[in-house]
Every structure is written in C-alpha cells, then in structure tokens.
Structure 1
Amino acid sequence: MKAVLALGSNQGHRFDTLQGAMDALFDAPGLEFVAASPVYETDPVGGPEGQRPYLNAVVIAETKLQPRMLLERAQSVETAFGRVREERWGPRTLDVDLIVVGDTVCDDPVLTLPHPRVHERAFVLVPWSQVDPSGVVPGHGEVTVLLAGLDQSGVRLRSDLTLQVPD
C-alpha cells in the first residue's frame, strides 16, 4: 500500500528534526521509502498566536503495515523527538501525520483516514503535489484539484533545505 505521511516542526532545530524523523521512520522494517518532497516553511494554522513558522515536508512510502501499526510507529517517532501534546494545534518539536494509507477509509477515535483536514491544508497539499502530482485523497479528490481552491500564500519553498534519502 502507498502511505503518505506529513512531517512538521516549529520548535528547536526544525530541519534536523525533520531529517531525524524521516530516518527513524524508515529505520525499522515494514516501511519502504519512495520519495520525499521539498521542504517548505509555512505559517502556523490554528492554535495560539505567536507561534514560530513550521518546516513541512511530505514523505511517500510503500508499506505492508496495517494503518494502526503505522500510526504507532509515527507516534513513537514523535515521542523520541520530544513531542508533548499539551495544546491542540500548539507548537511542537515534531508532528508526523498519516495522511493516506492505500485506499483505507476509517473514522474512529484512534485513527481517521484520510486525515480529516488534509483537503483544507495547503501546507500538506503543496509538498504532496510536488512529489506525487497524481495523488488522491479518498473521498475528496485529486491533490492538484484540491490545491487549486486553497490559499497557498503561507507556504514558501525552502530551496536551501533538502531531506536526505534514508539509508
């Protein structure tokens, strides 16, 4: 199955955290690296005023892991990088969101797929469209079509930052 994961950080050494998260995600079996988007600096969406801008990227992988197992891996990587869940949409050292896992559609308290707000978030759709222009959000449509209806002004390419492919 194809898995789309969004990485974000707006605390600490943001780029080093994104690179470390990508390395950690692919350090264990069950997840095969396919591609990583360019890195973007983005304005915070929601949450408290005065947050630092985020660095965001999207990673595409192939996996045989069940979505809940993939979620557990993502959350363990967040924890390893000091993620603390104090405030919804608050600042964070690392956010690893499962955006899409194959064609899986589920809506339960533990995991919602596709990610419930991805179709509204330019900070995910812009990098996703760069690495997978034919991507589709189940139940919502093609990434490029969804992106055309969104304000992209808060999403800026950081051409000076490039995530390295995990070993």
Structure 2
Amino acid sequence: MLAIGGNLPSEIGDPIVTLKRAVLMLNDVKSRVLQVSRFFKTPCFPAGAGPDFVNAALVVESALDAEEMLARLHEIEAEFGRTRETRWAGRTLDIDLIGGGDVVLPDAATYAHWRDLPLEEQMKAAPSQLILPHPRLQDRAFVLVPLNDVAPDWIHPVSGQSVAEMLNNLPESDRKAVVPL
C-alpha cells in the first residue's frame, strides 16, 4: 500500500495532475496499481508550513521487494522535481510505502522506536532504513482517510487494528479536515 501526495506544482502541472501521472508511472513491468482512492484536500503539516496537500492511497501489486519498491518510489519522486532538503517541507510529490501484508521491517524493536518517537524528535530525525509499516500511519488522517477507500480491512501487523478501526480512533476534527476533491 502506498500513500501519495503533493502540495507544490511540478513541471507538468498542479498536484492533481502530478499525482495522476505518478500513478500511471507506477504501472510498469514489475508493478501494477490495483486500486486508487479518491483524491483528498488535506491541511499542510505542520500547520502554516505551506499550501494544502492533495493526497490519495493506492494498492499496488509488485514483484519488487520493499527496498526495491522504495528505490523506485524515490526515482518517480525525483522525476517530478522532489527534493529532500527540509523535513516536512512542501513538495511536488511524496510517495510513501505504508505497509504490505503482515511485514514488519527491519524488526519489531526498531519499528517501536520510530513509532514512539516524540513529535519534536520526529521533526529532526529521519530513519536511515525502511520502517514498515509506516511508524505513524495510525496518527495521520491524511493517510488513513484515503487508505480507508481502498483497504479498510487491512490489519496493521503490530497493533492488530484495521484501517477502519485506526481511522475511527482519530479525533473527528482530524477526519473532517480531509475533504474529498
């Protein structure tokens, strides 16, 4: 499962155009997009850091392993002008590997460390390796609302909760801030 978003225009157009083109690029010899959620307008995080985002979620089938898929996602982001200079800065395209089946990478302890990292540390530190499932997916309406469109029954391999359950655990104000386009 992937989360895709952007809040800055790329060379080909606004974030909606960019996201649609990126989804097409994910269909290649080794990967196939099975489902795409609706597109949603979501508030920029942290608040005031830039224009609102457009976000969506995808279910993808791939012959690539998680590391290879992450490398492919970074290649696609770069093709649309994505740079990684400032953590949580505005971006033309962001594609995150959210989870896959019951995979936990690299291990449960490392996953728990990143999941439990205080917000002020999250803003400064980024893991040097792939962490799956995404350690803060359960906290992010901009991921869970679109993901609920395409995979409401996916079970988080650590918490044991479905996407629908994780979404229902978020404050109503967070859920309502994610608006279909």
Q: Would the TM-score normalized by the shorter structure come out above 0.5?
A: yes
What does 1:122-141 align with in structure 2 at a 5 Å threshold? 122-140=141-159, 141=161
Question: Are residue 73 (structure 1) and residue 72 (structure 2) matched?
Answer: yes
Question: Match for residue 157 of structure 1?
Answer: 180
Question: Match for residue 163 of structure 1?
Answer: none
Q: How far off its partner does 1:71 sit? A: 0.3
Question: Match for residue 64 of structure 1?
Answer: 63
Q: How far off its partner does 1:33 sit? A: 1.8
Rg larger in 1 or in 2? 2
Once residues 25 and 54 of structure 2 are traced to their aligned partners in structure 1, the CA distance between those partners, rounded to angstroms, is 18
Question: Match for residue 124 of structure 2?
Answer: none
Once residues 42 and 155 of structure 2 are traced to their aligned partners in structure 1, the CA distance between those partners, rounded to angstroms, is 22
Higher-strand-fraction structure:
1
Secondary structure in 1 aligned to 2:59? Answer: strand
Secondary structure in 1 aligned to 2:55? Answer: strand
Once residues 62 and 156 of structure 2 are traced to their aligned partners in structure 1, the CA distance between those partners, rounded to angstroms, is 17
Once residues 148 and 91 of structure 1 are traced to their aligned partners in structure 2, the CA distance between those partners, rounded to angstroms, is 28
Question: Match for residue 118 of structure 2?
Answer: none
Runs of 4+ in structure 1 displaced over 4 angstroms? Answer: none
Secondary structure in 2 aligned to 1:73? Answer: helix
Matching residue's letter, 1:21: A
Secondary structure in 2 aligned to 1:127? Answer: helix
What does 1:15-94 align with in structure 2 at a 5 Å threshold? 15-26=16-27, 28-46=28-46, 49-94=48-93
Deviates more, 1:86-95 or 1:98-107: 98-107
CA contact under 8 A between 1:10 and 1:93: conserved in structure 2? yes
Deviates more, 1:99-108 or 1:86-95: 99-108
**What's the TM-score once normalised by structure 2's chain length?**
0.80
Secondary structure in 2 aligned to 1:133? Answer: coil
Counterpart among 114, 137, 142 of residue 133 in structure 2: 114
Once residues 102 and 82 of structure 1 are traced to their aligned partners in structure 2, the CA distance between those partners, rounded to angstroms, is 30
Q: Which runs of 5+ in 2 are unaligned?
A: 111-127
Q: How far off its partner does 1:153 sit? A: 2.4
Instruction: Count the aligned residue pairs.
Output: 153
Which structure has more relative contact order (CA 8 Å, sep 6+)? It is 1
Supply the RMSD in Å over aligned alpha carbons.
1.3
**CA offset digits 1:124-160 (Å, max 9, x no partner):** 11011111221222212211111011121220011xx
Higher-helix-fraction structure:
2
Q: Which runs of 5+ in 1 are unaligned?
A: 159-167
Question: Match for residue 164 of structure 1?
Answer: none
Once residues 50 and 88 of structure 1 are traced to their aligned partners in structure 2, the CA distance between those partners, rounded to angstroms, is 11
Secondary structure in 1 aligned to 2:129? Answer: coil
Q: How far off its partner does 1:50 sit? A: 4.1
Question: Match for residue 11 of structure 1?
Answer: 8
**What's the TM-score once normalised by structure 1's chain length?**
0.87
Over the matched positions of the two proteins, sequence identity in percent amounts to 36
CA contact under 8 A between 1:128 and 1:135: conserved in structure 2? no
